[in-house]
Amino acid sequence: MSEILLDKFLDIFKNDILPLTIKGVDAGNKIFGAAIINKDDYSLVVAGSNNETENPIWHGEIHTLKKFYELDNIMRPKEKNCIFLSSHEPCSLCLSGITFSGFDNFYYLFPYESTSDEFNIPHDLNILKEVFNITDGKYMKENSYWKSYNINILLNEMKNANKKKLADSFNEIKKTYIDLSKKYQSLKEKNSIPLK
Ligand SMILES: [Zn+2]
């Protein structure tokens, strides 16, 4: 994994995804966000954030896909030429959304266990178990449609001198997500989201 790409991912969380999520959480939405990036030059195509207060299927990833397909199709890159970036490991809805959209990859910052335990959102693991009979979130992490990547594992595997700089940047982003999560949890009883 290239250090430049990891650095770019963290940059996009800080500068493009989190500013949208801060506004979203203020409006009562969850903390999940996503972005679509060009594979060739790592430039941002579109970023988005959860908007479940408007529509319960506007998860961070699905709302980002909605924005992507609202771009003029002359301007819009082909899905296979894009990287799909997500703040949290995609739920069953978003796994399917990414698959039906034809992306061949996705990268996420926080795995299911973290979503459930650190961010107090248990639905992803529960739905996989209840609806699909998949325990412990063990869907096919690599399959004929796409390959998925846990950014945390990629960061930990890095061996060079910049590892600490990237880890510091990750920790700063994580702290922002933890703070936003506390805010969401404190406000959630007032929102209209069916699965809070
Ligand atoms: Zn989802």
Domains of the chain, with CATH numbers?
A: 3-190 (3.40.140.10)
Q: How many CA atoms lie within 13 A of 179 on its CB side?
A: 10
Distance CA 121, CA 40 (A): 34
Cα 87 to ligand 1 centre (Å): 11
Tell me, in angstroms, the distance from the centre of ligand 1 to residue 3's CA. Answer: 27
Q: How many A from CA of 90 to the centre of ligand 1?
A: 5
Distances (CA, A) of 129 to 3, 140, 196: 35, 14, 18
Confidence tier at 160 by pLDDT (50, 70, 90):
confident
Is there a contact between 26 and 191 (Cβ–Cβ < 8 Å)?
Answer: no
CA distances from 36 to 62, 113, 178 (A): 11, 24, 23
Q: What is the pLDDT of residues 14-65, one digit of tens each?
A: 999 999 999 999 999 999 999 999 999 999 999 999 999 999 999 999 999 9
How far away, in angstroms, is 188 Cα from ligand 1 center? 17
Taking the centre of ligand 1 as the mean of its atom positions, its distance from the CA of residue 120, in whole angstroms, is 15
Q: Give the pTM.
A: 0.97
